[in-house]
Amino acid sequence: MKLTTSTIYLSRSAFLNNIRFLKSFSPSSKFFPVVKANAYGHGLKEVVSIVDDYVDGYCVHSVDEAIEIETKKPILILGHIGSNENLLRELLKSKKLYLTVYSGRVVDFVENIANSVRKPIGLFVKVETGTNRLGLEENDALNLADRIVNSKSLNFMGFSTHFANIEDTTDHSFAKKQIEIFNRVIAKFSGQHVEKHNACSAALMLFEETRTEIVRPGISFYGYYPSRETIVSLNAKGYEKKNGLKPVLSWKTNPLQIKKVKADSYIGYGLTYKATKDMTIAVLPVGYSDGYDRGLSNNGYVLIKGRRCPIVGRICMNLFMVDVTHIDNISEQDEVVLIGKSGEEEITADTIASFLGTINYEVLARLNPFIQKKIVE
């Protein structure tokens, strides 16, 4: 029997709230939430089981992720298609896939598979508009689109792109230039009707021009705003944060041991914390192997009985310690909140990100996929 040292809880009601809120920006668009990176650390299979009735499809990064999704809805692969022909061929037989292409080489690979399975494969051409990751410049994108249209075994779906600087700033001039380039490519395309998608979380909430046939919210789907700047921009449009998104995930554990530490004793590796007085600490069964970042050493807190308990000493691979001297009647049965609410206090992925100098995306995406997950209302 597996020993569960911590549990991630997923709120069904928070998910449904976020879906309603995000759909309110573009009710007529197909809703394809991004579930790459194990659904941003939330658990791919668990998330799909909760939301499948409320979405139109899913976005993933790779074929490997598409394999894990149990759904009859379309799956849009945004990034890596891979080079395993047999794997993709088998996947196409059981799932409805849309692929993103960004070179003639990738189209050659896909076309060969399409001919063998005798099933048209839907392709989106990725347009380079300023992020300089995957994608083709305007003329190359149009030429590749024409080639796909003329193929008997491929189905040209449309165009996509991604923004470089839409959520890190309140100056959206660069994003507007990217929108102009993207729209110019679409206007030049003389073929059939095409579908378009470029709406990440910030774009969906801030720019009407991105609310096209498909929208693909990421971090917002899980209840987090992409940045403070996005919140500021939304507030300027009359939206209040409290009436918007709700974090879906909470993460909890229990102490393995409660112990007394004498004044002048050291706690943890490297002797980085020295007790200035007699104190009580709780040893928690979570560490950086679980995704609880080592950068939180002596630099963060957990919640117990609605009170903040500072981290003392270094985060270990599987354990860390917190000061519970001020918690009355502390025991190994008490709930410890790593992410979530306790009483009037709350720790979010934003809270942890602020300690680490990073973003909420990273805090969530690095959660160990083997942590037990439970779905709650």
Catalytic residue numbers?
36, 269
Interatomic CA distance for residues 312 and 276, integer angstroms:
12
Residues with Cβ < 8 Å from 60, sequence gap 6 or more? 34, 35, 36, 66, 69, 75, 76, 77, 78
**343-371 core/surface letters (b: 16 or more CB in 10 A; e: else):** eebebbbbebbebeeebbbbbbbbbbeeb
User: To which H or E segment does residue 267 belong?
Assistant: strand 266-267
Interatomic CA distance for residues 102 and 177, integer angstroms:
21
Question: Closest by alpha carbon to 75, among 134, 30, 32, 109?
Answer: 32
The partner residues of 270 in beta bridges, in order of sequence, read none
Both ends of the chain: CA-CA distance in Å? Answer: 27
For 173, the token pair is 């001039």
The partner residues of 376 in beta bridges, in order of sequence, read 11
